[in-house]
Amino acid sequence: MKPLYTAEALASGEGRDGNARTNDGKLDVSLASPVELGGSGQGTNPEQLFAAGYAACFHSALRLVGRKERADLTDSAVAAKVHLGQLETAGFGLAAELEIALPALDLATAEALVAKAHEICPYSNATRGNITVDIKILEYAA
């Protein structure tokens, strides 16, 4: 892979209950385990950051594919859910869901664009074969 950009971040403190910041200072967040995992929930957590990144990255891939195909992406959006769970073997794992809104497109066109976006999105490429990613088109033109 030929690197085009490198993001740098440092996590410090108590891991999930510490701080994370980028080297350029544009992101500086307090981290806290969610209440569901026994934490205070008073900060963000790695799964929220991953969900935000995946949603933004997939939406960019979708818009790139849409522009190339001259598709109407008016009011398009991508929501991501990232699940943290106990693995059957040992340790913990992730799963993701992407919920896509393409209200200006018919279902067949929306499905074709989403499939192409899933092939070029860096997050999709990083997760492919590693975690389950469920993609749903929730909104499209009838």
Enumerate domains of the chain plus CATH numbers. 1-44 (2.20.25.10), 46-141 (3.30.300.20)
pLDDT for position 142: 74
Please check whether residue 60 is in contact with residue 77, taking contact to mean a CB–CB distance below 8 angstroms: no
What is the C-alpha end-to-end distance of the chain, expressed in Å? 41
Q: What are phi and psi of 35, to 5 degrees?
A: -55, -35
Amino acid sitting at position 47: E
Would you give per-residue pLDDT tens digits along the chain (142 residues)? 999 999 999 999 999 999 999 999 999 999 999 999 999 999 999 999 999 999 999 999 999 999 999 999 999 999 999 999 999 988 999 999 999 999 999 999 999 999 999 999 999 999 999 999 999 999 998 7
Cα–chain center distance at 41: 20
Strand-by-strand arrangement of the 17-22 sheet: 9-14, 17-22, 28-30
